[in-house]
């Protein structure tokens, strides 16, 4: 039921971070993976590494805020690996600043990428799945900050809350086509980008508030992701799967 061998999966935001990890993991499970992002040099390097490890990968340049570029990129990906079986809506940005100091440009950048971008990618994916009569899976990468809030990340938290509600709305409308739409909501994970923060006093204090008293490891997202895109999750749609070490159930 967890088999994805030969399935075509597109991953947005795949030049680094969660997206690159997802692409490597899925290729290792036998999927044909299209890596999509704006940074073509990083994409080409990542694809070369996956293919050198006996995976099957291809890349397309993609700006998730531009519907026309999404359509073009999806067409290129289908020409290479055929119709999509799953799409991982992972592209995202943040702006860390107190709400009173956030400017309009930062707001637009975060909300356009994290929410509008998820909407446009999901819409294009669904249209193509319906056209090819594929009963596919769309996984939107949300965050526990879409369910609770933290300081200085208002646009990010608001956009991720929107992703969660968007996931439920699309799941309702597209179930009739056999398309499942779910959200994966990670907590705090150790990455190269946050090492410095979690070594600080504030970072260590945050980790202490996680019931498991540690950060997540990227490989701990593999099982939940595979569940959502494989037949093992065939009766799941509109679900929000949190992977956070119990952070959401910690006391207020």
Q: Which of 158, 160, 149 is nearest to 91 (CA)?
A: 160
Residue 177 annotated to the active site:
no
- pLDDT > 90? residue 251: no
All residues at 6 or more sequence positions from 152 whose CB lies less than 8 Å from its CB, including other chains: 96, 97, 98, 99
- pLDDT > 70? residue 252: no
Sign of the Cα pseudo-torsion (18, 231, 56, 88, in order)? negative
DSSP codes of every residue in 65-97: T-HHHHHHHHHHHHHHH-S-SEEEE-------S
Domains of the chain by start residue, with CATH: 8-189+219-243 (3.40.50.720)
Record the tokens describing residue 179, joined without a space.
Answer: 């398309």
User: Residue 194: what pLDDT?
Assistant: 80
- pLDDT > 80? residue 193: no
Whether this prediction's pTM lies above 0.95 is answered by yes
Sorting pLDDT into bands at 50, 70 and 90, what band is 195? confident
How many alpha carbons lie under 13 Å from residue 97 in its C-beta half-sphere? 11
pLDDT tens-digit series, residues 198-226: 999 999 999 999 999 999 999 999 999 99
- pLDDT > 80? residue 18: yes
The active-site residue out of 74, 81, 156, 189 is 156
Share of the chain above pLDDT 90, in %: 95
């Amino acid at each position: 039921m967890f088999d994805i061998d030969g399935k075509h999966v597109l991953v947005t935001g795949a030049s680094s971070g969660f997206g690159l990890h997802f692409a490597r993991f899925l290729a290792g499970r036998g999927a044909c993976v299209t890596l999509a992002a704006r940074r073509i040099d990083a994409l080409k390097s990542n694809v070369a590494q996956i293919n050198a490890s006996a995976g099957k990968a291809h890349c397309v340049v993609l700006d998730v805020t531009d519907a026309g570029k999404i359509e073009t990129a999806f067409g290129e990906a289908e020409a290479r690996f055929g119709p999509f079986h799953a799409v991982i809506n992972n592209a995202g940005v943040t702006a860390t600043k107190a709400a009173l100091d956030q400017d309009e440009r930062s707001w637009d950048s975060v909300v356009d990428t994290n929410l509008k971008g998820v909407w446009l990618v999901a819409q294009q994916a669904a249209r193509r799945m319906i056209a090819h009569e594929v009963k596919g899976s769309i996984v939107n990468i949300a965050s526990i900050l879409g369910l609770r809030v933290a300081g200085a990340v208002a646009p990010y938290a608001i956009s991720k809350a929107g992703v969660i509600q968007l996931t439920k709305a699309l799941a309702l409308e597209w179930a009739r086509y056999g398309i499942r739409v779910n959200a994966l909501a990670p907590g705090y994970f150790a990455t190269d980008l946050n090492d410095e923060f979690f070594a600080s006093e504030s970072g260590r204090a945050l980790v202490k508030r996680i019931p498991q008293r540690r950060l997540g490891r990227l490989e701990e997202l593999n099982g939940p992701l595979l569940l959502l895109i494989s037949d093992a999750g065939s009766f799941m749609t509109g679900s929000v799967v949190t992977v956070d070490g119990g952070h959401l159930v910690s006391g207020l």
